[in-house]
Amino acid sequence: MKATIPAAMITAPGSGQGKSMVTAALARFHRNAGRKVRVFKHGPDYLDPMVLEVASAHPVYQLHPWMTGEDECRWRLTEAAQDADLILVEGSMGLFDGDPSSADLAKLMGIPALPVIDARGMAQTFGAVALGMASFDPELPVYQVIANRIGSARHGDMLRESLPEGIELLGAVPRNEAMNIPDRHLGLVQAGELGNLDQRLDAAAEVLADAGLDGLPLPVTLEAETPEPPPLLLEGVRIAIAQDAAFSFIYRANLDLLRAMGAELSFFSPLADSAFPDTDALWLPGGYPELHGATLAGNQPMLEAIRAHYAAGKPMLAECGGLMACVEELVDHDGQSHRLLGLMPGRASMAGRMQALGLQGLDTEQGQLRGHTYHHSRLETDWQPLARTRKLAGTEAEPVYGRNALVASYFHGYFPSAPELVAGIFRGQAIRPLTDEEPDHA
């Protein structure tokens, strides 16, 4: 499978430069121009893809040479290129931050990096920043940059004049309310909570067009082998998945894998529903239960239904926010306490700063489940973990708890990295952790 298509890695010197909104606005501009745009996100992230899906009107998948694997990166991009007119990849953090970084992914796929540089309070130094990003890694092509948040047309001219030979200013984006999007402690506000998101994106697309960002990036050639389908390890297994404003951190690739393994998926809202569909297994994914503690605690019919599922010994996976819902008490940012499921003893309480961040893997006899951790709450429980993740980078490893067919952890797993393990969890099979050897994170 092979294709040639215009493509760019939208990146930045660091977080907070505005690359997420620039990526979304570019996707919306080209979509409004009649092009099919496919957008991808480097690394673990649930919130940016929600906005990017609205902007492009197409699914957004994660790409990460370690978490998703290099072969999957090649396949997803090449598969998308078969009928798309443009591919955009939004980087994470700064261009060279992390291992593997956004730069590593760009080099792997042969896609030029297009840095977005916040130019507030900057003139000739803009050229130095652009030159540094372009020359830091000679194997990474950087031909153009975008100046963001400029103060005037003259400011844009000064930035353009500062650039060294070989680097072009693709566009200079003025400060404009349309280019802002609200955020909170875990990142952007969820797309579904922004009632005017479509109007914002259309306005942002016009801002970029006026700034000269109405052209297509250079074409690249992508090539990959089509992967073999996974075995039907979940054939006929019914899985009910919580999905609403409190539980929304779900990778599309995870859903795709469950369906490809034969599972029958249904969705329910722990906030609004009084029961969930007849099911063999439950999945409570991550999200923002701390913002909805009173509603969750007040929905007693739903809490009783989930407790009955657990008491019957049926499989249940609880990730991060799902774990927080499983304990006896959830203390929110305001110090308010909410009595939740009580499947696990203890309390989850929100903290004033990040408690865990980084790529991690869960090493078992059924395979290595790769993923990440990212949370602002602390857990106190008497349960002893049945396993612990191993960190690739970042903070300490996460405990993985298990009892009565419940598997619960702050760890977010990328299911395609370990299909056999994932199938076993949803069939109620015990996790068999590796304890005698160090995992290979290469």
- Active site residues per annotation: 320
Please tell me the distance from the alpha carbon of residue 357 to that of residue 376, in angstroms, as a whole number.
9
Residues 116, 14: Cα–Cα separation, whole Å: 9
Query: How many residues does this entry show for the chain?
Result: 442
What six digits make up the tokens of 162?
A: 């500062």
Contacts of 28 (CB under 8 A, 6+ apart): 55, 56, 201, 202, 204, 205
User: CA angle, corner 356, sides to 351 and 360, nearest 5?
Assistant: 160
Q: In this structure, how many other beta carbons lie within 10 angstroms of the beta carbon of residue 172?
A: 24
Q: Are 52 and 42 in contact (CB under 8 A)?
A: no
Q: Residues with Cβ < 8 Å from 235, sequence gap 6 or more?
A: 261, 262, 263
Alpha carbons 27 and 248: distance in angstroms, whole number = 23
CA distance 95 to 243: 32
Taking a C-beta distance cutoff of 8 angstroms, is the pair 266, 277 a contact?
yes
Q: How many other CB atoms are there within 10 angstroms of residue 342's CB atom?
A: 14
Q: Tell me the C-alpha distance between 70 and 64, whole Å.
A: 7
Residue with the two structure tokens 């489940």: 369
Helix-then-strand count for the chain, H and E: 12, 27
Amino acid code (one letter) for 164: P
Element (H, E) at 22: helix 19-32
Of 313, 281, 317, 278, the residue nearest 418 (C-alpha): 317
- What are the CA-CA distances from residue 360 to residues 47, 61, 346, 423 (Å)? 19, 19, 24, 20
